[in-house]
Amino acid sequence: MTRRSPNELEHAWQTFVALVMDTRGDYRREASAATGLPFSRLRALKRVGYGPITLRALAESMSTDAPAATVIVNDLEERGFVRREPHPEDKRAKVVSVTTEGKRVLRALASVSDPVPPSFDALDEREIATFVRIAEKIRAK
């Protein structure tokens, strides 16, 4: 496999990030409006909704530090959307899980439309298949 230069890789990454970030504003606003929560809280709640998770793992999955994740979990817990319990095997760790009320918020979030950006209309079937293949390859690493 031919390796690309760091500049080419950086350009590819920055282009992809810009595409995602530039097309998510409407969804983020609609998600917050539908649930009454800031999007940072929704990101965390969605991850907890997949199953109980330690605070440390939650922080890592959100690319943030443990103190920031703790602030988010404190807010979600005060709102009744998550509960924090001692880890069954590690006395230093806490496990966060979603509550019934948190599941209600996640259902409201799931009802928010997350449309494909109009710019994707420029892709033909082959390009879409290539895009998906590349994204899945990157995600698998």
pLDDT in tens, 57-89: 999 999 999 899 999 999 999 999 999 999 888
Residue with tokens 């970030």: 21
- Measured CA to CA, the distance from residue 126 to residue 105 in angstroms comes to 37
Residues of the chain above pLDDT 70, percent = 97
DSSP three-state, residue 34: helix
Residue type, 97: S
pLDDT higher than threshold 70 for residue 2: no
For residue 1, what pLDDT is reported? 55
- Measured CA to CA, the distance from residue 66 to residue 60 in angstroms comes to 8
In the predicted model, what is the mean pLDDT of residues 28-32?
94
In the predicted model, what is the mean pLDDT of residues 2-6?
71
pTM of the model: 0.79
**So what CATH class is 24-114?**
mainly alpha
- Measured CA to CA, the distance from residue 62 to residue 43 in angstroms comes to 8
